[in-house]
Structure 1
């Protein structure tokens, strides 16, 4: 098995929204804001090469939305999925599976693209299965008013219409399950219903793809919960459970949204679980 970081692009969001009830005087120490109160964020995906499978975890925002839409998110940098794949000798047609932690636009938008004449949409990975779970899929296609703006039909419905959509099964008695793709999944419901956190065994290490359970290093303290989370009190419990597990078992936490820190480890302290070390992907994956 080999792992590769896939940078799909960078953007900005309001720091207050990203840290909920936590005052700016606290969160700006780790996530400094610009004059418009916006903080730097990444959409860092992960590619798993395992035998004859090439599995991409999340796909970023994509490129099919309007300039007005992207204007809300202040895109910056020159990353793209295609550039990142090419860097490691791959093409999007080589991808066999796209695993979506959840279906918010900044995690799955790159899965679907315009067709050639822009009359409709088609899979951006024509040879891949798209993986979600049935509970989250239903949550996304019948969105609540809070999340409606994050679940865009053009990102979601074409997966099903293409016939390439598959569902991983959901555990009945606990939050951890081995998936059909060969890695474990931690199911978390605080951010959105049945978000999936992949936990990958890699060269005697354990890599956890944190998605929106831990967006950035700055979100390590338990009360530092995004304003976007639908069930913030549940996020508190899920973060505590997962971070304690990560500290005890020395997980390497792959951060999807931290623009400046790729991978971290954590440790138990008197104040709770806190940062231990930071790493680049090259440090861990080579």
Structure 2
């Protein structure tokens, strides 16, 4: 097995929304804001090469939305899925599986694109199976008022209409559940219903794709959950259990949304779990 980071594009989000009730005077130490109170955010996917399978975890925003839509997110940098895949010797048509941690637009928008004559939409990975889970799919296609703006039908329905959508099978509801994709999954409900957090056994280490359980290094302290979480108290409970396991088992945390930090480990302190070591993906490969 080989794994690769895939940068799909950077953007900005409101710092207050990203840190909920945490005061700006505190969160700005790790995530400084610009004059509009916006902080840097990445959309960093992960590619797993495992035998004949090429599994892409999350796909970023994509590029099919309107100029007005993207204007809210202050995109910056020159990353894209295609250029990132090309750098590591792959093409989107090589992808066999697209695993989506959840179906908010910044995690799955790149899964769907305009068709050739821009009259409708089609899967952006024509040879891939698209993976979600049944509970979350129903949650997304029948959205609540709070999340409706994050679940866009043009990102979702083409997966089903193409016949490429499949649901991950649920198991015994242990802390981690085995999946048919070759990695374990932590199912959590605080951010959104049944978000899936992949745990990948790689070179004797457990690499955890953090998605929105912990968007950036600045979100490590237990109470630092986002204002986007639908059930923030549950988020804290779930995060607390995860932090215990992360420290105990020396998990390597892979950040999807931290524009400036790729990986870290944690340690216990008198204040709870805190940052232990920051390092780059190339260090993990080494």
Q: Do the aligned residues in 2 keep the contact of 1:95 with 1:127 (CA within 8 Å)?
A: yes
Q: How far is the alpha carbon of 1:172 from its aligned partner?
A: 4.1
The match for 1:246 is: 246
Gaps of 5+ in 2: none
Which whole-Å CA distance do the structure 1 matches of 2:130 and 2:182 have between them? Answer: 15
The match for 1:275 is: 275
The match for 2:170 is: 170
Q: Do the aligned residues in 1 keep the contact of 2:123 with 2:158 (CA within 8 Å)?
A: yes
For the aligned residues, what is the CA RMSD? 0.7
Which whole-Å CA distance do the structure 2 matches of 1:197 and 1:204 have between them? Answer: 19
Which whole-Å CA distance do the structure 1 matches of 2:202 and 2:172 have between them? Answer: 27
Deviations 1:173-229 (A, max 9, x none): 334201000000000100000000000001111100000000000001111110000
SS at match of 1:159: helix
Alignment of 1:41-80 (within 5 A): 41-80=41-80
Please give the TM-score of this superposition, normalised by the length of structure 2.
Answer: 0.99
Q: Does 1:182 align with 2:165?
A: no
Which whole-Å CA distance do the structure 1 matches of 2:251 and 2:30 have between them? Answer: 21
SS at match of 1:45: strand
Which whole-Å CA distance do the structure 1 matches of 2:209 and 2:173 have between them? Answer: 22
Q: Do the aligned residues in 2 keep the contact of 1:175 with 1:188 (CA within 8 Å)?
A: no
Which whole-Å CA distance do the structure 1 matches of 2:243 and 2:87 have between them? Answer: 32
Q: Tell me how many residue pairs correspond in the alignment.
A: 286
Which whole-Å CA distance do the structure 1 matches of 2:176 and 2:60 have between them? Answer: 25
Deviations 1:8-30 (A, max 9, x none): 00000000000000100000000
Q: Do the aligned residues in 2 keep the contact of 1:97 with 1:131 (CA within 8 Å)?
A: yes
The match for 1:103 is: 103
Q: How far is the alpha carbon of 1:82 from its aligned partner?
A: 0.3
Alignment of 1:58-207 (within 5 A): 58-207=58-207
SS at match of 1:9: coil
Q: Do the aligned residues in 1 keep the contact of 2:22 with 2:224 (CA within 8 Å)?
A: yes
Which whole-Å CA distance do the structure 1 matches of 2:171 and 2:151 have between them? Answer: 24
Q: Do the aligned residues in 1 keep the contact of 2:59 with 2:110 (CA within 8 Å)?
A: yes
Which whole-Å CA distance do the structure 2 matches of 1:143 and 1:3 have between them? Answer: 33
Which whole-Å CA distance do the structure 2 matches of 1:257 and 1:285 have between them? Answer: 21
Q: How far is the alpha carbon of 1:171 from its aligned partner?
A: 3.4
Gaps of 5+ in 1: none
Deviations 1:18-44 (A, max 9, x none): 000010000000000001000000000
Alignment of 1:6-17 (within 5 A): 6-17=6-17
